[in-house]
């Protein structure tokens, strides 16, 4: 019987919160249809059904946080005759477990929330001095003390007649400042830390770098875009994505998952793009079947993905199925990025920013727009020889963009 489960969005996710259902018992759901909203450490996303059927039972209530893999809803085969929400489910009805209790899972890396609270105020103010005592202090010192939440009377003055002056007012030496903690306290940062730590711990990365001339690709792009409007113009990023997707056909050992001590190559190319979020952190949703999409379509896909990633409207399939990732630093980044593989994937390519570099053309040196592509791949699955050929293939494809 088909089920809808809490999806895993990769190594960095152990639990998710069901935000809302968009289906009710008796509804017909189609494969790929949106059935609810799920919130993870990194994003809120639309939960999709991976099967057709009629909703038989909703097993988890909105607000509940449940481990990855928990059955959220049960469907039954949706043959047209047996409609109606009424009939009893064939087996035992909705099993009890996850229904109510929210925190089945320990909160992520939960840095003590107290630590990040109001800054220094706490302790020293308790050291109450007799409020009546008139304390000598300069206006600047009084002002500073107020800002820091310090009683003037608790300070030792070094000014004239023991008056407290500005230099006497220091922020209280409270516990070590909880500065570094807040970053880890953010669920997004904790999720990234978990995934990247696992990657660096488990995946024997190797890196290959190759500088590619984009003179032809950009000239072709300028020609194609010449008569286009803003809505239809092609972005350079889409050309790179297309070239990667096509190159992967020849290098199946870079496209897939490493699960249970074995590599599972993927027939499909679901190309993830690392997208930085304005609230901090990043997320890497995939363009599904990217190798079947044209450059025009990929331009639209990419824009659509970025807008939805930043507005929290990604679909669960986009976050669960990536087989390879591309990270691109854009126009204002630095020249190269050495990316970290996003497990369970086995490779990632990083593009630095496109910039003019001296290029040898025959016997002369001329400026070319270039990009540095860095491949990081998993030595359990592939090696430098094949990785190098992949980058050469990428280069070759980008020299003939019209054929892409």
Partner 1 sequence: MTTLPDQILATLCKIAPDVDPGSVDHARPLVDQLDLDSIDYQTLLATLSKEHRVEIRAVDVPTLRSIDDLARYVETHRRSP
Q: Which CB sits closer to partner 1, 328 or 370?
A: 328
Q: Which CB sits closer to partner 1, 266 or 276?
A: 276
Q: Which residues bind partner 1 (CB under 8 A)?
A: 225-226, 228-233, 235-237, 276, 278-279, 302-303, 306-307, 330-332
Q: Beta 364-378 vs 355-361: how paired, if at all?
A: antiparallel
Q: Are residues 265 and 253 in contact, defined by beta-carbon separation less than 8 angstroms?
A: yes
Q: In the bound complex, what is the minimum distance in angstroms from residue 179's beta carbon to partner 1?
A: 21
Q: Which CB sits closer to partner 1, 175 or 307?
A: 307
Q: Which CB sits closer to partner 1, 240 or 391?
A: 240
Q: Which CB sits closer to partner 1, 238 or 346?
A: 238
Q: Are residues 184 and 190 in contact, defined by beta-carbon separation less than 8 angstroms?
A: yes
Residues 216/219/223/228 CA torsion (nearest 10 deg)? 110
Indicate if the alpha-carbon torsion angle 257, 262, 265, 266 is positive or negative.
negative
- Tell the burial category of 59 from Cβ atoms under 10 Å away from its Cβ (0-12, 13-18, 19+): buried
Q: In the bound complex, what is the minimum distance in angstroms from residue 274's beta carbon to partner 1?
A: 12
Q: In the bound complex, what is the minimum distance in angstroms from residue 16's beta carbon to partner 1?
A: 25
Cα gap 393→251, rounded to integer Å: 10
Q: Which CB sits closer to partner 1, 27 or 335?
A: 335
Instruction: List the one residue out of 109, 16, 103 whose CA is nearest residue 68.
Output: 16
Q: Are residues 268 and 323 in contact, defined by beta-carbon separation less than 8 angstroms?
A: yes
Residues whose CB is less than 8 angstroms from the CB of residue 364 and which lie 6 or more positions away in sequence, other chains included? none
Strand partners, 257: 264, 345
Q: Strand, coil or helix: what is 273?
A: strand
- Tell the burial category of 292 from Cβ atoms under 10 Å away from its Cβ (0-12, 13-18, 19+): exposed
Cα gap 75→99, rounded to integer Å: 17
Q: In the bound complex, what is the minimum distance in angstroms from residue 320's beta carbon to partner 1?
A: 23
Q: In the bound complex, what is the minimum distance in angstroms from residue 224's beta carbon to partner 1?
A: 9
Q: Which CB sits closer to partner 1, 24 or 230?
A: 230
Strand partners, 373: 210, 351
Q: In the bound complex, what is the minimum distance in angstroms from residue 341's beta carbon to partner 1?
A: 23
Instruction: List the one residue out of 263, 281, 272, 265 whose CA is nearest residue 244.
Output: 272
Catalytic residues: 379, 383
Residues 372/195/379/7 CA torsion (nearest 10 deg)? -110
Q: In the bound complex, what is the minimum distance in angstroms from residue 90's beta carbon to partner 1?
A: 49
């Amino acid at each position: 019987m088909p089920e809808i489960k809490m999806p895993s969005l990769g190594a960095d996710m152990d639990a998710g919160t069901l935000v809302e259902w968009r289906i009710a018992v008796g509804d017909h759901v189609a494969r790929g249809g949106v059935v609810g909203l799920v919130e993870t450490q990194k994003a809120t996303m639309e939960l999709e059904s991976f099967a057709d059927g009629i909703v038989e039972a909703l097993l988890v209530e909105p607000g509940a946080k449940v481990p990855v893999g928990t059955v959220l809803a049960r469907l039954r085969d949706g043959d047209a005759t047996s409609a109606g929400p009424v009939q009893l489910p064939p087996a035992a009805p909705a099993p009890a477990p996850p229904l109510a209790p929210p925190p089945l899972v320990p909160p992520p890396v939960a840095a003590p929330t107290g630590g990040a609270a109001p800054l220094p105020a706490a302790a020293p103010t308790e050291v109450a001095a007799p409020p009546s005592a008139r304390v000598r202090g300069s206006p600047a010192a009084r002002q500073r003390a107020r800002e820091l939440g310090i009683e003037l009377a608790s300070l030792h003055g070094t000014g004239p007649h023991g008056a407290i002056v500005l230099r006497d007012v220091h922020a209280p030496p409270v516990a070590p400042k909880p500065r570094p903690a807040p970053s880890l306290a953010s669920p997004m940062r904790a999720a990234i830390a978990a995934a990247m730590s696992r990657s660096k711990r488990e995946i024997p990365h190797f890196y290959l770098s190759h500088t590619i001339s984009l003179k032809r690709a950009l000239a072709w792009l300028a020609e194609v875009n010449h008569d286009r409007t803003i809505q239809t113009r092609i972005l350079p990023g889409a050309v790179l994505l297309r070239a990667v997707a096509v190159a992967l056909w020849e290098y199946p050992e870079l496209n897939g998952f490493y699960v249970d001590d074995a590599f599972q190559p993927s027939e499909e190319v679901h190309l993830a793009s690392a997208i930085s979020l304005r609230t901090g952190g990043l997320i890497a949703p995939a363009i599904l079947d990217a190798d079947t999409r044209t450059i025009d379509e990929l331009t639209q896909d990419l824009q659509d993905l970025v807008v939805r990633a930043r507005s929290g409207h990604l679909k669960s399939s986009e976050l669960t199925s990536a087989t390879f990732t591309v990270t691109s630093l854009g126009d204002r980044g630095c020249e190269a990025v050495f990316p970290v593989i996003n497990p369970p994937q086995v490779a990632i390519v990083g593009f630095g920013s496109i910039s003019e570099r001296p290029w040898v053309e025959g016997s002369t040196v001329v400026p070319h727009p270039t990009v540095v592509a860095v491949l990081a791949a998993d030595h359990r699955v592939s090696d430098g020889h094949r990785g190098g050929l992949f980058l050469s293939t990428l280069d070759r494809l980008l020299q003939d963009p019209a054929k892409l």
